[in-house]
Structures are given as C-alpha cells and as structure tokens.
Amino acid sequence: MASCLLIAGEKSGEEHALSFFPELIKFCPEVTFYGVGGDELKDQGMELLYHLKDFSSMGFSEVVHKIPFYFKALKNLENEVVKRGTKTAILVDFQDFNLRLAERLSKRGVKVLYYVAPQAWAWKAGRAQKLSEVTHTLFTILPFEKQWFSERGVKQIKSIPHPLMLTYKDKLSSIPEKPFGCWNEKLKILLLPGSRRFEVYNLLPEFIKAVRILRETTPVEVHLVKVGHIDPEFYRLYQEDVDIWYESQDLTKAMEECHLSLAASGTVTLSTGLFELPTIVCYKASLLNEFIFYNLIKYQGPISLTNIIHEKMVFPELTQDQVEPARIASIIRTWTLNEKLYNDLKSTLRDTKHLLSGEKFSVPEYMARIINE
C-alpha cells in the first residue's frame, strides 16, 4: 500500500493540514498517512509517530533544549520513509525542522510538498535557495509571497487561499455586526493567550491584570479559549476573573460572541482579523529570546499576520516590556470611546479576506495527483 508522510509539528500546523486533509484522504483511499500531528488528525485517520505536543516549542531558548530530540526525530522519520518506501511528503509550516527534513527526503528521491511557505522574507532570505533545491511544490499563502519566492529561484509555486479561509469558509459571509457602542451594557473581551505553554504562562497574567483595571470603570465579561495541553491548575488560578471558558475547537464561537480581543502573536491573530475582531497582539519571551530577536534578526516589520497582510499596523503590537496591563487597558478604552477610530479599524478588517483569495484550484486534488503518480 502506498504511503505519504505528513508533518504538522504545531497546533497551527495541524489546523492548516485540516483545511485539506479530510478531502485529500477521499482522493487517496489506498494511501496510508503517517507522521507528526495532533488528536484531530489522528481522528481523521492519520497514524501518529509523534504527537505535536512533543514537538511544540516557543522561542530560541526552548528550541535549544530540544535540539537532541529534534535530530533524533529527523533520523527516525527518515528511516521510516525508507522502510515504508514513501514517495511523497507533505510538510506543513514548522520551518526549522521541516527544511532539514525536506533536505534529507529530497536526497532520497521523495517529492516534498511544502505547505505554507516559511517566512523567509522576514527571517532568512537564503532559505529561498534551499527551497528551490529540495521541494517539488511550494504553497504560499500571503499575497506577495509567490512573486518573492519565484524571483529567488523557486520554480513550482502554488498561491493558495490562506488555510483559515478554508477553515472558516462557511462563517466569513455571516460575521455578526458589532457597531460602535454595542458593548454599552457589557464589554465582552476575548483572551487568547496562545497555544504554547511559554506563551500562556507569560501572557495570561498580564491580560488578567488589564481586565482588572478595566473593571474598575467598565462592566466587563471575560471570555477565554484554553488549550488541552496546558495544566488545568494554571487556568484555575484565574477562574474568578474569567466568566466564560471555551475549548480550542470553539474559537469561532468565541470570536463571534466578543467585541475585542487580547491575543498572543501567531496564526490566531489572523483569525481575529478575518472575523473583524479588534485585537491587541502581544509577544513576551525570555531575556535570551529578546536579545536574539533584537540583535540577530534583521526583520523590522510587523509580527502579526493581519498587519503583515495589510502592510500596515492595523492591530497594535506590544512586545516584551511593552506588554503592560495599563497600556493594554488604555488601548481598549480608546477603541470604546473613539467612534471614528473604531469604525476605521472595522472597515480595514473587512478587507482582510479579500487579500487572501489565492489561485482558483483544489489543493487536495493537486496533492492527490502527486501522491498517486
């Protein structure tokens, strides 16, 4: 039986994979899929050699501690590909690991379908050359990426609708209207402190402090999306501050219910952009990560996807020491008191989905054709 390797080493990667995987397996009924993923991919029939919770890390210092694990996993996955005679691999995001794996697999004659191009334009432009050497097809999801990678030698590129456009395709045409002042009785704030342990432990306490400041003058209802692999005892520390709890699969409902959001930098900030939910984007890492970010990374642009796509600061971005409860509360108060500012922001957010349309073709059908060749 034919097989295909699939690597989704983070929760956001699994969400990307779920945008095509249910249809892909219908086109490939005789193919077994195996690799790295989470519970949702497993439920869809994928064989997990590693669970994504074992792969996930946040920031440079966490990655350093897991280097031995990653290299062992690279070797194990390569051996499994050889053992099974696998001819095709789908690598989803997770660039540091997947680029190394792509290099190993291409030497084995495996066709690598790299889904969600790494943000080489922000971090390491030289990776474009490597992608041109080791990938069969590169899938890009941001408006400017196809031209950028093409100019740097990548030949087979497919510009696709952002995976979130597919995930939310039944919802984006009926986003609830939230006109200025709709929060007069109660301001509903959604807390999205991240999916990684490091993010949640750093950001949730700051978010809660900001809410407490707001509650001194404003009726506030706090909604929070939690993730399954975070210790429930940590969430319980804030059970008196949070009014409504959601599981991660209920993110859409949470975004539809709330007026504003506080979110960790990541894919979720594009979700809030698509749902026209004004969001303050926050990033807070260790001192080592901060040093590396500000001294070794040349990229100076925005960090949140909604801002990157619009090529301007639509959402406020607070990093490191800027993640101050008083500052967060001040921004929220400004949004709720300045009608023009709020309406301009909502107007800009309505354009988000139009910037992510991509080419008109079926990703699952295209992948199936390569796998079945």
Predicted confidence (pLDDT) per residue in 327-353, tens digit: 999 999 999 999 999 999 999 999 999
pLDDT of residue 302: 79
Please give the model's pTM, rounded to 2 decimal places: 0.72
Q: How far is CA 370 from the centre of its chain?
A: 26
Length, in residues, of the chain? 373
| Paired tokens of 336 | 């709720």
Predicted confidence (pLDDT) per residue in 76-132, tens digit: 999 999 999 999 999 998 888 999 999 999 999 999 999 988 876 656 667 788 899
The mean per-residue pLDDT over the stretch 17-24 comes to 94
How far apart (Å, rounded) are the C-alpha atoms in residues 357 and 166? 10
pLDDT of residue 296: 44
Q: Residue 135: exposed, middle, or buried by beta-carbon count in 10 A (0-12, 13-18, 19+)?
A: buried
Q: Across all residues in the chain, what is the average pLDDT?
A: 90
In sign, the C-alpha dihedral spanning 363, 369, 372, 373 is: negative
DSSP 258-273: -SEEEEESSTHHHHHH
The mean per-residue pLDDT over the stretch 21-25 comes to 96
Predicted confidence (pLDDT) per residue in 159-195, tens digit: 998 878 878 888 998 999 999 999 999 999 999 999 8
pLDDT of residue 289: 53
Is the pLDDT at 64 greater than 70? The verdict is: no
Q: Which domains does the chain have, with CATH numbers?
A: 2-160+358-372 (3.40.50.2000), 172-355 (3.40.50.2000)
Residue pair 340/57 in contact by the 8 Å Cβ criterion: no
Q: Which residue has the higher pLDDT, 125 or 357?
A: 357
Long-range contacts of 298-305 (CB under 8 A, 24+ apart): 299/122, 299/123, 301/122, 303/265, 304/265, 304/269, 304/270, 304/279, 305/142, 305/267, 305/269, 305/270, 305/273
Strand arrangement of the beta sheet that strand 260-264 belongs to? 244-246, 220-225, 187-192, 260-264, 279-283, 317-319
Report percent pLDDT > 90 for the chain.
66
Predicted confidence (pLDDT) per residue in 208-237, tens digit: 999 999 999 999 999 999 988 889 999 999
